Amino acid sequence: MTESIGRQARAAAAPTTVITAVSPSMGPESIESHYDEALAVPGVLAEIAAGESAGAAAADRADGYVIACFGDPGLDAARELAAGPVVGIAEAAMHTATLLGRGFSVVTTLSRTVGHTWELTRRYGFERACRGVYACEIPVLDLDDPSPETVRVLTEACREAVAKDRCDSVVLGCAGMAPLGPALSQEIGVQVIDGVTAAVKLAESLVALGLRTGKQGEYAAPRPKKYSGLLSEFTI
Amino acid sequence: MTESIGRQARAAAAPTTVITAVSPSMGPESIESHYDEALAVPGVLAEIAAGESAGAAAADRADGYVIACFGDPGLDAARELAAGPVVGIAEAAMHTATLLGRGFSVVTTLSRTVGHTWELTRRYGFERACRGVYACEIPVLDLDDPSPETVRVLTEACREAVAKDRCDSVVLGCAGMAPLGPALSQEIGVQVIDGVTAAVKLAESLVALGLRTGKQGEYAAPRPKKYSGLLSEFTI
Amino acid sequence: MTESIGRQARAAAAPTTVITAVSPSMGPESIESHYDEALAVPGVLAEIAAGESAGAAAADRADGYVIACFGDPGLDAARELAAGPVVGIAEAAMHTATLLGRGFSVVTTLSRTVGHTWELTRRYGFERACRGVYACEIPVLDLDDPSPETVRVLTEACREAVAKDRCDSVVLGCAGMAPLGPALSQEIGVQVIDGVTAAVKLAESLVALGLRTGKQGEYAAPRPKKYSGLLSEFTI
Amino acid sequence: MTESIGRQARAAAAPTTVITAVSPSMGPESIESHYDEALAVPGVLAEIAAGESAGAAAADRADGYVIACFGDPGLDAARELAAGPVVGIAEAAMHTATLLGRGFSVVTTLSRTVGHTWELTRRYGFERACRGVYACEIPVLDLDDPSPETVRVLTEACREAVAKDRCDSVVLGCAGMAPLGPALSQEIGVQVIDGVTAAVKLAESLVALGLRTGKQGEYAAPRPKKYSGLLSEFTI
Amino acid sequence: MTESIGRQARAAAAPTTVITAVSPSMGPESIESHYDEALAVPGVLAEIAAGESAGAAAADRADGYVIACFGDPGLDAARELAAGPVVGIAEAAMHTATLLGRGFSVVTTLSRTVGHTWELTRRYGFERACRGVYACEIPVLDLDDPSPETVRVLTEACREAVAKDRCDSVVLGCAGMAPLGPALSQEIGVQVIDGVTAAVKLAESLVALGLRTGKQGEYAAPRPKKYSGLLSEFTI
Amino acid sequence: MTESIGRQARAAAAPTTVITAVSPSMGPESIESHYDEALAVPGVLAEIAAGESAGAAAADRADGYVIACFGDPGLDAARELAAGPVVGIAEAAMHTATLLGRGFSVVTTLSRTVGHTWELTRRYGFERACRGVYACEIPVLDLDDPSPETVRVLTEACREAVAKDRCDSVVLGCAGMAPLGPALSQEIGVQVIDGVTAAVKLAESLVALGLRTGKQGEYAAPRPKKYSGLLSEFTI
């Protein structure tokens, strides 16, 4: 899935943008619960830390980051750690959707993630713009090389969202759905927004404008302190 | 001011993006009231209509539009009219600011525009992210080739916003302030966001992703009908 | 339709109130989109300006204004322009509805106007009081001398609103529906509120109390400046 | 105070409107706490009941009611009891204020009532329109035939509200302040809204339009049942 | 019903807690409207006053109070009157529900109480956590020694709430439903929360922690003043 | 600090409650940033997992959990993992504060945590009840055996909160402040609420009522899956 997400990202990126798609070396194989998400965060932060210090020269450091899981795990912490901008794909998809009309709907994987998705709409200011969150009950890993039945179920969920919500666009609630975006859009007659490509463009834009996370308050670099046990390598 | 805004836009745009900066052929010379804004809208729509039909070939039509006045005048109507995406600079600046931290403050021109600015934060979902709106009481036209005193007063307003709101960034509440952005940022030690450049990047991103205003509902093309009197040329 | 609205207004007004019903000399023949609404505004403002300067004597000037389109087009600008109070019919209908119970529903014309109606509920503070907005998909002009089928469809929409929302009243979402109010109310067994008559009473009340738009801030008279092109006659 | 309120009401009413000002025969001599307000309600309801059954002929029954205490005590219950409309003065003042601009401030009596005033702004949908609530720490009964010092303190509170909130109008937070309205307005240069006169006009308007509380749901007449003890006379 | 509520409360209370269940000596036999609720309040306050002065010794005074009607009648006034904490059962049930998951639904008696229940969710901060309010149309007194049909209808309403809202728990909207809680929970497979037991535990907790209503502002003891007529005994 | 928190908890607990105070074996030595908080979560979850499986007999398993850091780190994930209830101390303090009056203020450690504290007020429904968040700029570890200067600064922050917000209570924004609670309350004349003791009582109450996190939706046990790398021991 990392590879496929990387491909999506590169297809959307400007020719001069270098995309490095990495998968954390620790944590759950997929994110479908608060527990999964909480344990995905250290791996995300380790990758950010690697991106910040990569190589000797500043030229090798990442200019910005995309967190390619729809729960935007670790976004706030990543913003403290990184010098450049960090964009989550849920955040990016929702920002993008609100530029295209008044209301969007989200189609997510398991229904147990619906509550968290609404939480994100509130965190980002889009509670009102979000007209509904629909679960297709497809586990994340089934989206990797999906069966026709999986595609059919997902299409049905998108169609239901459009019919019930009269939304101006549909946001895909999982990075693994990204490759299906164009076909889904074609099928349902409404634009489908994939957070991966949306986040790549937003991150590129921020870098191009020389903008980065504000560092004078909440998102200043973490104060140096000791981390113990299993996580001692996170000591700054 | 149109020229200066065009320069800002071009400096931010990708090398392959062609920016055409136009000023409406009708309406107020600056926008500082609801009355001004209302009467600026027909001119904006005329320019959008021109952009849609420009020349014979599709290649000559505008791929997207930026409305470069902080009140985002005519944004909803423009979205009905245009096939491609339309982005307002208030909208763009606020979206961008929320990607850089939890809270931003706006520095606007006359205090009579403060209410409308808060209205926009609500329209776009950023009421909570906006920590304050500060008027510097400088009329819009004074920002064109500004005096040192104008710069000083504007800088002071930005500084007050940062001190009172502990904001992560400052949003400039007038297209005419854009050229002063980098100097202001330097001066106050907090990032300053200019909606013109922010909107250019968002519009470029949407075009690159093949995204446009959803056309199956609220933002469908207006139904053809007769327009009378002075405005008869707006008949579709 | 102007004539019919004038009749409704006169029937609701106090015997001493003089109602002058005018239709703008420029703009769309009906308002069913953001584009229509934006282009209706200059005509509204021209009528306000005419009302302000009518005749030589102050006694001939309008004491207050009602904007008789449910989108309340140009309301903020009109408030800057007029010395006396200005009331929109959407605003008036919603204020009135909330005095009669906890919740109201709106029955509007085309579904493309639903988003804007919700926007108005938020602008006026009645988002929570509004339980639903129902489109009957009848174009505005079909409401002028309506066919039995039009009446049937509209009645059905009102009935659906009452059944789904258990609302305390139904607000008619178009000035053109006003003459049908009493019959609809009779038919569905729930009070139907028409913004035209509601606005006349509110405007009369404000005038009687000597109240007018606050002029010391956002709604001060627009600053004099040049308006160019087609709209040069709007120069103040 | 009842007499003075009656005078205010009559001055605002249409010539054909008959105002009967009554003071409940039971309850606190003034309302300055939740306890006072709770115990004022039975007396209010007894007066409503009296108004509903007054005399033998329908012509003698009250067409509508105004509850002339800024806490709007018993408003919901009164609406169940009365056939015609019931309007509270806080409600009326706030509705009126929002027709005159974007924001109002309230000047109330004791600071212990501030929380309840904010609660009312939320109940009626005006939380956002209300920019501030200012207590002048003057007990209600001191407003009856007020000393010059009382007037001075109250004026100061109004002035503070205007200076801090840049509000479009000031709402008086106590029926007892009504006679001072015009002088206060003169003094501070901003319109002052008194709920008593505002409520009279709203009630008159509703009666004129033939509108009344919706009776098919929450505000239906209370179900008949036994009331015991001290309150047995409230049995319906 | 008082006896049954007392039994419920005692079963939930710590062994050292003494529960005194009292029914007001005045007011309606059940609470099903705003009118009922308003007239229930004096009786509640009389019981609080009795609890405050009971006997000569401080040891005999109540340490805290539970108001066992789901409308939480008189809660604010009771807090002014009592030295110790006062907890309403709607409040308690909602606080408790939000500790057990993201969303709860309420099953109430008559549909005319639905509006007030939503009002309470807003008052306490749980509007978002509350996913729905369902009326089973069973009058309060029918819940005392309920028929099998009553139980069936109530169970159905709970089941509907769970099916539609996917709520994490169901809150019972009437003290009279408390004895049915465990059976309902068993039947529908979702936890059912009864406000009586929830409130007992919250009140016990506050007393144990030495916490009580803040007395330096809104909830200070009412100012002494005269109460007239039927309610003269409420004079402080 | 763990020991001191344990002491506080035991002092508040019922005699029959067994408190086991544990400090995670991995993670930061204090939590003062999003980065710290994110990396504290795995350790919290490991302790919950230990509590769930402790010993062979069910009698040895924890009946419920308190997460004793004011950011409530890992609360949602812990609720998925634990069979019994889990209560965070920020959550507990805020719930408790709203039972004691209309508004509370929070005094927290570093100003960089203010944004997150507001986020929590929104998550729990108390945004409106929270009147202000005040940072005393004391690092967490300085609260362990605090110097007189630390106590003075903290007292000053509490006093400022009371003066500015007229709050009904002050919530301590760090577990480390708990031992200072009674002295602070004494000093400032307003009740001070410590989340540790508040959470102990809430958790005890839920256990006593037989209530636990709803397990039929968002908070069901996490689906079993593989966790890799450093975190492989978290595999379920």
The string of DSSP codes covering A16-43 is TPPP-----SSEESS--SHHHHHHHHHH
Q: Are residues F28 and F108 in the same domain?
A: no
Q: In percent, how much of chain C has pLDDT > 90? A: 94
Residues of A in contact with C115 (CB under 8 A): 102-103
What is the mean pLDDT of the segment spanning C97-115? 98
Query: pLDDT at position B61, please?
Result: 86
Q: Do D227 and E27 touch (CB under 8 A)?
A: yes
Q: Do F27 and A227 touch (CB under 8 A)?
A: yes
Chain B interface, Cβ < 8 Å to D: 111, 114-115
- Chains touching chain A, criterion 3+ CB pairs below 8 Å: B, C, E, F
Total Cβ atoms within 10 A of residue E159: 18
What is the mean pLDDT of the segment spanning D100-106? 98
Query: pLDDT at position E1, please?
Result: 85
- Structure confidence by residue, pLDDT tens digits, F125-153: 999 999 999 999 999 999 989 999 999 99
Closest Cα in chain A, distance from residue E131 (Å)? 12
Residues of F in contact with E75 (CB under 8 A): none
Q: Are residues A137 and A152 in the same domain?
A: yes
Inform me whether the pLDDT recorded for B58 exceeds 80.
no
- Identify the residue with better confidence: A92 or B61: A92
Query: pLDDT at position D60, please?
Result: 72
Residues of E in contact with D113 (CB under 8 A): 218
Report the half-sphere exposure of E195 (CA within 13 A, side-chain side). 26
Inform me whether the pLDDT recorded for C197 exceeds 70.
yes
Q: Are residues C113 and C177 in the same domain?
A: yes
Q: In percent, how much of chain A has pLDDT > 70? A: 97
Strands (E), B69-194: 86-88, 104-108, 130-135, 169-172, 192-193
What is the mean pLDDT of the segment spanning F39-44? 98
Is C121 in contact with C130 (CB distance < 8 Å)? Answer: yes
Is C87 in contact with D101 (CB distance < 8 Å)? Answer: no
Query: pLDDT at position A83, please?
Result: 95
Q: Do D38 and E74 touch (CB under 8 A)?
A: yes
Give the residue from F76, F87, F99 with the most E CB atoms within 10 Å of its CB, the best one to mutate. Answer: F99
- Main-chain dihedrals φ then ψ at residue A33, nearest 5 degrees: -155, 170
Q: DSSP letters along E151-170, please?
A: HHHHHHHHHHHHHHH--SEE
What are C20-23's contacts with CB under 8 Å, separation 24+? C20/C51, C20/C62, C21/C68, C22/C47, C22/C50
Is C93 in contact with C45 (CB distance < 8 Å)? Answer: no
What is the mean pLDDT of the segment spanning B162-187? 96
Confidence of residue D34 (pLDDT cuts 50, 70, 90): very high
Query: pLDDT at position E138, please?
Result: 96
User: Which tokens belong to A221?
Assistant: 């670099």
Query: pLDDT at position F236, please?
Result: 85
Q: Are residues D109 and D172 in the same domain?
A: yes
Round to whole Å and give the CA distance between C79 and C212: 9
- Residue F228: closest CA among A67, A230, A29: A29
Residues of F in contact with B102 (CB under 8 A): 115
Instruction: Output DSSP code: residue F106.
Output: E
Q: Are residues E48 and E124 in the same domain?
A: no
Residues of F in contact with B165 (CB under 8 A): none
Inform me whether the pLDDT recorded for C57 exceeds 90.
no
Pairing of strands E192-193, E227-228: unpaired
Confidence of residue A216 (pLDDT cuts 50, 70, 90): very high
Q: Do C100 and D201 touch (CB under 8 A)?
A: no
Q: Do F77 and A111 touch (CB under 8 A)?
A: no
Q: Do F103 and D115 touch (CB under 8 A)?
A: yes
Q: Do F103 and D111 touch (CB under 8 A)?
A: no
Mean per-residue pLDDT over chain F, rounded = 95
How far from chain centre, in Å, is Cα C187? 24
Q: Are residues B147 and B177 in the same domain?
A: yes
Q: Is C153 exposed, middle or buried (0-12, 13-18, 19+ CB in 10 A)?
A: middle
Q: Do chains D and A touch (3 or more CB pairs under 8 A)?
A: no
- Chains touching chain F, criterion 3+ CB pairs below 8 Å: A, B, D, E
E58: domain CATH number is 3.40.50.12500
Please name the helix (run of DSSP H) or strand (run of DSSP E) that holds residue D135, with its range, or none. strand D130-135
Q: Where does chain E have alpha helices with state H?
A: 2-12, 34-53, 75-81, 89-98, 114-124, 148-165, 181-188, 195-208
What is the mean pLDDT of the segment spanning D104-125? 98
Inform me whether the pLDDT recorded for B56 exceeds 60.
no
Q: Are residues C60 and C6 in the same domain?
A: yes
C to E CB pairs, distance under 8 Å: 4
Q: Which residue of B has its CA nearest to C36?
A: B222
Is D13 in contact with E13 (CB distance < 8 Å)? Answer: no
Instruction: Specify the number of domains making up chain F.
Output: 2
Q: Do chains F and C touch (3 or more CB pairs under 8 A)?
A: no
Inform me whether the pLDDT recorded for F108 exceeds 90.
yes
Q: DSSP letters along B32-81, please?
A: -SHHHHHHHHHHHHHHHHHHHH-SSSGGGS-S-EEE-STT-TTHHHHHHH
CA angle E211, E213, E215 (to 5 degrees): 115
- Structure confidence by residue, pLDDT tens digits, D143-166: 989 999 999 999 999 999 999 999
Q: Are residues B211 and B229 in the same domain?
A: yes
Inform me whether the pLDDT recorded for D169 exceeds 60.
yes
- Structure confidence by residue, pLDDT tens digits, A63-83: 999 999 999 999 999 999 999
Is D64 in contact with D17 (CB distance < 8 Å)? Answer: no
Inform me whether the pLDDT recorded for A228 exceeds 70.
yes
What is the mean pLDDT of the segment spanning B91-97? 98
Q: Which amino acid is at A127?
A: E
> Which residues does chain E have with pLDDT short of 70?
54-59
Please name the helix (run of DSSP H) or strand (run of DSSP E) that holds residue E65, with its range, or none. strand E65-67
Q: Are residues E125 and E58 in the same domain?
A: no
CA angle F47, F52, F55 (to 5 degrees): 100
Q: In percent, how much of chain D has pLDDT > 90? A: 94
Residues of D in contact with C127 (CB under 8 A): 125
Q: Which residue of D has its CA nearest to C76?
A: D101
Owning domain of residue E68: 2-88+197-234
Round to whole Å and give the CA distance between A228 and B120: 47
Inform me whether the pLDDT recorded for F57 exceeds 60.
yes
Q: Which residue of B has its CA nearest to D101?
A: B115
What is the mean pLDDT of the segment spanning B38-54? 94
Inform me whether the pLDDT recorded for D19 exceeds 90.
yes
Query: pLDDT at position C34, please?
Result: 98
Confidence of residue A236 (pLDDT cuts 50, 70, 90): confident
Residues of F in contact with D114 (CB under 8 A): 166
Query: pLDDT at position F55, please?
Result: 62
Length reported for chain F: 236
Question: What is each CA distance from C148 to C2, C145, C151, C159, in whole angstroms?
Answer: 21, 10, 5, 16
Of B58-62, B79-83, D179-183, the poorest mean pLDDT is in: B58-62
Q: Are residues A175 and A160 in the same domain?
A: yes
Residues of F in contact with E96 (CB under 8 A): 205-206, 209, 211
Query: pLDDT at position A98, please?
Result: 98
* Ramachandran sector of residue B166 (left: φ over 0; alpha: ψ -120 to 50; beta: rest): left
Tell me if residue F132 falls in helix, strand or coil. strand
- Identify the residue with better confidence: C54 or C205: C205
Mean per-residue pLDDT over chain E, rounded = 95
ipTM: 0.96
Instruction: Output DSSP code: residue A109.
Output: S
Task: Name which of A99, A166, A214 is nearest B206 (Cβ-Cβ).
Answer: A99
Q: Are residues F180 and F118 in the same domain?
A: yes
Query: pLDDT at position A176, please?
Result: 93
Q: Are residues C178 and C210 in the same domain?
A: no
Query: pLDDT at position E55, please?
Result: 63
Q: Where does chain C have alpha helices with state H?
A: 2-12, 34-53, 75-81, 89-98, 114-124, 148-165, 181-188, 195-208
Question: What is each CA distance from B101 to A199, B88, B170, F133, in whole angstroms?
Answer: 16, 21, 11, 18
- Structure confidence by residue, pLDDT tens digits, C146-184: 999 999 999 999 999 999 999 999 999 999 999 999 999
- Identify the residue with better confidence: F58 or C226: C226
